Amino acid sequence: MSKRKIRVLVVDDSFFTIKFLSEAIASDVGLEVVGTAADAYEARDKIIELNPDVMTLDVDMPRMNGLDFLKQLMPQYPMPVLVVSAASNLVFDALQAGAVDFLSKTNMMDENRRDAFISELIVKIKIASIAKVGKHKPPYANTPVHTPLEEQSKIIAMGASTGGTEATNTILKDCGGDLPGIVMVQHMPPVFTRLYAERLNNTCPLAVREARDGDDVLPGLALLAPGDYQMEVVRRGNGYRVKVYQGEKVSGHCPSVDVLFSSVAKAAGGAALGILLTGMGADGARGMLMMKEAGATNIGQNKESCIVYGMPMVAKNLGAITYELPLDQIAKKIYAWSQPRK
């Protein structure tokens, strides 16, 4: 018996985009376009009529923009949504409103990148189709008791993919500025990593910015690997700095969590805390195992709170996880680990 195809609803106000996306989606034997819509009102009716598995959604549309549509849709009718848009300034608001992932239209218009865009579109629709939506509670409000750090050699390394933008935001919003330095990889293309770092910097108590080659890893600062660049941590006296460089994809990604984690294992050993969050695939699992073998403490996000329980699951199966925790308990564990040993 043949496997049921993933049923997709395409929503965009551009006839050209609808045609392009529909043909691209139909090119994969596992997908089918069951309907299209030119605005949010038409999309609402098509969702009720067709019950699609995944919806692609532009956020910049007339009558009602996609962001407002998401905010109305998700509480009443939670479903996997892939944002496909050129409106980069609204992407992270859409993810916060419940979208699973996003894809920039920029590459769709570039003949040299069109095939890559279609491949990424197909992969992200398939990932979205198995993602859990509408399961997360809003971030809890806690005010942890902060103890001044005495062990400045500590470092925190985080990695995430699908669903990770909001998971990382949830954790960092509950973290004060007195934590050890943080280095992070989020699977995300160029430009968007800078925008994401700026967003985190504006919503979180600690400083967050896109990393540059040679940046020092400092307490109270989180450095995010830039899109299309690999990032490693190297030892510098009693502290660390980052090495940011153009490199090949590792574990299918650039930046790669495996690259970051394996470098942290070598540079920091038992002074490191590794955190692996929601995401498809296995990136970060092998690097996290190297961290554990070097003496690090590792946290994996649990299945119930993951949008996609892939990366942390592989790490768990490898025996790389020290603690498997719900998203809303990770910040507390970070604080417990960061305090000086008695």
Return the CATH number at 18.
3.40.50.2300
Quick one: 114 and 179 in the same domain?
A: no
Do 214 and 291 share a domain, yes or no?
A: yes
pLDDT for position 149: 35
Per DSSP, the three-state class of 135 is coil
The pTM assigned to this predicted structure is 0.83
Question: Looking at residue 267, which CATH number applies to its domain?
Answer: 3.40.50.180
* Domains contained in the chain, number: 2
Does the active-site annotation cover 283?
A: yes
The contacts of residue 10 (CB under 8 Å, 6+ apart) are 18, 21, 22, 25, 33, 35, 36, 37, 55, 56
* Pair 199, 307 in one domain: yes
Q: Treating both helix axes as pointing N-terminal to C-terminal, what angle do 15-26 and 114-130 enclose, rounded to 10 degrees?
A: 70
Spell out where the chain has E strands. 6-11, 31-37, 54-57, 81-85, 101-104, 155-160, 181-186, 207-210, 216-217, 221-224, 230-236, 239-245, 272-276, 297-301, 323-325
Residue 50 burial (CB < 10 Å; 0-12/13-18/19+)? middle
Are 165 and 112 part of one and the same domain?
no
Same domain as 182, residue 102? no
In a domain, 138, yes or no: no
Among 69, 95, 130, which residue terminates a domain? Answer: 130
In a domain, residue 25? The reply is: yes
Q: How far apart are CA 204 and CA 174, in angstroms?
A: 8
Q: Is 215 a catalytic residue?
A: no
* Domain co-membership, 64 together with 196: no
Tokens encoding 292: 């554990």
Shared domain check, 180 and 76: no
If one counts every other C-beta atom within 10 angstroms of the C-beta of residue 321, the result is 24
> Alpha-carbon Rg of the chain, whole angstroms?
20
Range of the domain at 92: 6-130
Residues 87 and 179 in one domain: no
CB 121 within 8 A of CB 24: yes
- The answer to the question of residue 145 being in a domain is no
Q: Which one of the listed residues 39, 53, 136, 187 is annotated catalytic?
A: 187
> Do 64 and 160 fall within a single domain?
no
Domain membership of residue 201 (yes or no) is: yes
**What pLDDT, on the 0 to 100 scale, is given for residue 306?**
95
| Catalytic one of 39, 58, 283, 338 | 283
Give the Cα separation of 160 and 306 in Å (integer): 10
pLDDT of residue 146: 36
In a domain, 45, yes or no: yes
Distance of CA 227 to the CA centre of its chain: 12
List the chain pLDDT tens, one digit each, 342 residues: 457 899 999 999 999 999 999 999 999 999 999 999 999 999 999 999 999 999 999 998 888 888 999 999 998 889 999 999 887 778 889 998 999 999 988 878 778 888 999 999 999 999 999 998 864 444 333 333 333 333 448 999 999 999 999 999 999 998 877 899 999 999 999 989 999 999 999 989 999 999 999 999 999 999 999 999 999 999 988 889 999 999 999 999 999 999 999 999 999 999 999 999 999 999 999 999 999 999 999 999 999 999 999 999 999 999 999 999 999 999 999 999 988 765
Quick check: is 329 in a domain?
A: yes
The answer to whether 276 and 284 are in contact (CB under 8 A) is yes
Does some domain include residue 146?
A: no
Alpha carbons 201 and 210: distance in angstroms, whole number: 10
Q: What distance in Å separates the CA atoms of residue 272 and residue 183, rounded to the nearest whole number?
A: 11
**Catalytic one among 22, 104, 129, 161?**
161
Question: Cα(261)–Cα(267) distance, rounded to whole angstroms?
Answer: 10
Claim to verify: residue 177 and residue 126 sit in the same structural domain: no
| Structure tokens given for 173 | 């919003």
**Claim to verify: residue 88 and residue 165 sit in the same structural domain:** no
- Note whether 302 and 247 are same-domain residues: yes
Q: Supply the pLDDT for residue 142.
A: 35
- E-assigned strands of 27-80? 31-37, 54-57
Is 136 inside a domain boundary?
A: no
Say whether 187 is catalytic: yes
